[in-house]
Amino acid sequence: MTEGNIQLQRGRRTGRRTGGGATPRTLLPLRRVSSHLSNSISCWYCDFKSSVFNEPLFQFGRKYFRWLRIWFSIGMGFSLTTLIGVTLIILLESARALNLYNGIPWLNNILNGSIFGSYSSLYNITVADIGYMCISSIISVSIHELGHALSATSEGIQIEYTAVFLAVLFPGALVAFNDDLLQMIPRVATLRIYCAGIWHNAALCLVCALTLFLLPFIFYPLYSHGESLMVLDVSPKSPLYGHLSPGDIITMLDGAHVHTTKEWMNISYVLDKQKSQTNKGYCVPNLMIAGSKNPEITDNKFTCPNDLTLFTTISCNSRTNETNHQQTKEHIYCFPAKGVLGEKKCGDGWGNLVKDDGNCLCTDDESCSSPIHTLGVTWVEITFSRHECGNKENKCGGSFVFVGDIISMARSIRVTNYQSRWFYGVVYFPVVVEKLLVNIFHVSLMLALLNSLPVYYLDGESILEVALCCFSSLTPRIRELVVRSCLVGGTLICCLLISRILFLVISE
């Protein structure tokens, strides 16, 4: 992957010479659009070159060269630190892959969670996700190349042209300079130019992170945030399909108020862990219990016909489990799950929602009935309201019970923290902005890390070479040997790590 790789070094690094203005050989003829625009097309490569931005960038760089040099000097220090850090990480990761050591716990969590663990969802990528990735790549690469261009112009080097290209299926961009002029400036200035792309990608990550943090305040006049969840989409494969619709507002999950998507998932995880430890009861009238169906016994287990659910009567303040349920057949019956909704709650599974101070809330004509949990099944009550009714549950909306795998249920629908104050249709706008910022952050971070690697054809190659010239007293021959050894080793290790990632993806 060669996004952001700057073409301003020697002919051995570039497949296209920038000093003489020559263009690559193509299978199709070169078409000249104008004196400032040109493009070349072949069966494996196409690009679009432009010199329109040459003069504006040069004028800006020369006008603010003092401030830009300070800015890119900071970036040089950051990029060199990143190069050292990334090199150590790939060495540690390669040693862990070869079982030479177990690794550092916090580093293992980061690598497994953010790098290898993220590849498990590659098969669920949608067309919209591809669009986000393309836009994010264009923005991140443009910012990367802008860093190279501004740093070069601040040193007095004129740009020959800027270009975007597509090599096979990989997009990229480049900024071309005159190689002779580059060799005339001090090496520290050259190092600033090479480090500028990484530094700009890091700055873009910071801007995205700050914008994401401030997004609720930015959208406050038009959107509310963190009051409750709005449903954006319910897949036909979701167990909630037919119960929730786009525009519905989820207010509570099992009696706990839900404000954000993070709370939605956190509460789901907590309920999944506690499903066999607590009892959620309802005060069901004894007459309704008397009219319920008796359970059937299959393979020494109680089962209910049709869509009925197993219930058992419990003491308001006592904990029971499945083994107790099986010992008292006379207290087990089959009842429709939705039949208990609206009844008073009892038992110890509702947390602070039910406070009876040791006294049962059920009357003498009622019994505290609790659903019997089975392995992998959780009983969850979801309270919602319709969008046009706001959060006033007493006017419209209501509650329903979900019985099944709560984690799969929570992931099966798309929800957002934002609610439009005016029109429902525009609720997608902050969601799009939020997702685009997240994708730009990840792509820009990936570009910064990739170009920090000491491998061939990326910025790390030039940074390593020039840095050794600036900050070491090695002879040219030894320096060349060190550079080649680092590049060959770094390239091989990165290829092995990429192969390992691909193997993990295919194996899943």
Q: Which helix (H) or strand (E) holds 237?
A: none
Q: Give dist(CA 447, CA 210) in Å, integer.
A: 19
Give per-residue pLDDT as tens, 133-180. 989 998 999 999 999 999 999 999 988 888 887 776 677 778 888 778
pLDDT for position 38? 67
Q: How far apart are CA 118 and CA 441, in angstroms?
A: 15
> CB neighbours (10 Å) of residue 304?
20
Active site residues: 145
Separation of alpha carbons 53 and 393, rounded Å = 58
Which among 238, 203, 232 has a CA at the least distance from the CA of 407? 238
Tokens of 336: 């429709």
127-154 and 65-97 helices, crossing angle to 10°: 130
| CA 390 – CA 386 distance, rounded (Å) | 7
**In a 10 Å sphere around its CB, with 0-12 CB exposed, 13-18 middle and 19+ buried, how is residue 101 labelled?**
exposed
Identity of the residue numbered 144 = H
Q: Is pTM, for the whole model, over 0.85?
A: no
Cα 295 to Cα 32: distance, rounded to the nearest angstrom: 81
Q: What is the pLDDT of residues 337-379, one digit of tens each?
A: 777 766 777 876 666 555 555 456 788 788 888 877 666 667 7
Indicate the residue type of 124: N
3-state secondary structure of 168: coil
Percent of the chain with pLDDT over 70: 74
d(CA 216, CA 223): 8
What is the pLDDT at residue 434?
93
Asked whether the beta carbons of 259 and 226 are under 8 A apart, the reply is yes
pLDDT in single tens digits along all 508 residues of the chain: 444 444 434 333 333 333 333 333 333 333 333 446 666 676 677 878 888 888 999 999 999 999 999 999 999 999 999 999 998 888 887 777 676 666 556 555 555 544 444 444 444 577 888 889 989 998 999 999 999 999 999 999 988 888 887 776 677 778 888 778 888 899 999 999 999 999 999 999 999 999 999 999 999 988 888 888 888 888 888 888 888 888 888 988 887 889 888 899 998 888 887 755 556 778 888 888 777 777 777 777 777 777 777 788 877 654 444 444 444 566 788 877 777 766 777 876 666 555 555 456 788 788 888 877 666 667 788 888 876 565 444 456 777 878 778 888 888 888 988 888 876 667 788 989 999 999 999 999 999 999 999 999 889 999 999 999 998 888 989 999 999 999 999 899 888 888 877 776 676 5
Q: Are 383 and 252 in contact (CB under 8 A)?
A: yes
The letter for the amino acid at 70 is I
Using CA atoms, how far apart are residues 18 and 323, in angstroms rounded to an integer? 78
Cα distance from N-terminal residue to C-terminal residue, the chain? 24
Q: How many angstroms separate the Cα of 12 from the Cα of each of 15, 16, 71, 460? A: 8, 10, 30, 15
Say which residue the tokens 């740093």 belong to: 151
